[in-house]
Amino acid sequence: MSELPAPFRWSGDHITADLPGGHVLFTTRRGGVSHPPYDSLNLGPWTEDDAASVDANRAAVTRLVGRPIASARQVHGTAVVSIDARPGRAADPRQDPPEADALVTDRPDVAVAVLAADCLPILVLGHGAVAAAHAGWRGLAAGVVDVAVESVRDAQVADHAPMVAVIGPGAGGCCYEVGDEVREAFAEHGDAVRDGRRIDLKAIAAERLRDAGVATVHDVGLCTLCAPAGMLFSHRRDGGTTGRQMGIAWRT
């Protein structure tokens, strides 16, 4: 097991942290029932994995979290779904889920989650509300981080309560090579986030979270591209045929 920075810790096969306002969990690819190349805890219902295996994996994670997990069909955009009056619609990915890349809830009995396999799973916790955002480079450039933070700000019970954000496992600046289109999308961030053809999406996300008013930002410090292949799924490393892990947040 890799050593994790505070406040993260290993809980069995997965990464967790207790934070002001809630809990977060980042799954790994370990501990499920899926067969190669999706071995073993694939949580992505839109992969070519056996549907029954994905359902069993998601049920196991739901039991671990102890409440329904709301998710959406991610499209690399900035739409946000509020989990309030109709939590079931977003909680079941096989029942015509909404297209969205961020979810927010003020309910203590529902968790919100995003799927990832190189894109960044970003979780935002406020006073009485939590959000999950899926941030690939397109969503990050379009402002999904700002949308997630604003959704928590609108849903929390205290207008100016400090927020905390966590950035989960994703493609790191050590490995994420990009073309001109991506570099141009983040030109405003300057050379601090670039190293040759590599770009640091995690540094960009952290900067945007702070600019949006998040008081504290934590990074789990794991790159999906260069972490052990048996630990995390990576779409790029695995040639596009791989599973998905989850970033999950819920209120205390």
Distance CA 78, CA 86 (A): 20
pLDDT value, residue 89 = 44
Model pTM? 0.95
Q: pLDDT tens across 114-137, in order?
A: 999 999 999 999 999 999 999 999
Helix (H), strand (E) at residue 153: helix 144-155
On whether the CB atoms of residues 134 and 113 are closer than 8 A, the answer is no
With a CB cutoff of 8 Å and minimum separation 6, the contacts of 153 are 126, 159, 163, 213
Residue 104's DSSP bridge partners are 82, 131
In this structure, how many other beta carbons lie within 10 angstroms of the beta carbon of residue 233? 29
Cβ count near 141 (within 10 Å): 19
Strands (E), 68-142: 69-70, 80-82, 102-105, 111-116, 120-125, 130-135
CA 74, 219, 178 angle in degrees (round to 5)? 60
Kindly report, residue by residue over 13-34, the tens digit of the pLDDT.
Answer: 999 999 999 999 999 999 999 9
pLDDT of 142 higher than 80: yes
192 Cβ contact partners less than 8 Å away, ≥ 6 residues apart: 203
Res 157 pLDDT > 60: yes
Taking only the tens place, the pLDDT of each residue in 33-65 is 999 999 999 999 999 999 999 999 999 999 999
Q: What is the pLDDT of residue 95?
A: 62
Task: Please identify, in words, the CATH class of the domain defined by 9-251.
Answer: alpha beta
State whether the Cα torsion 11-61-166-19 is positive or negative: negative
- In this prediction, residues 177-205 reach a mean pLDDT of 95
| pLDDT for res 236 | 97
For the chain, the structural domain boundaries read 9-251
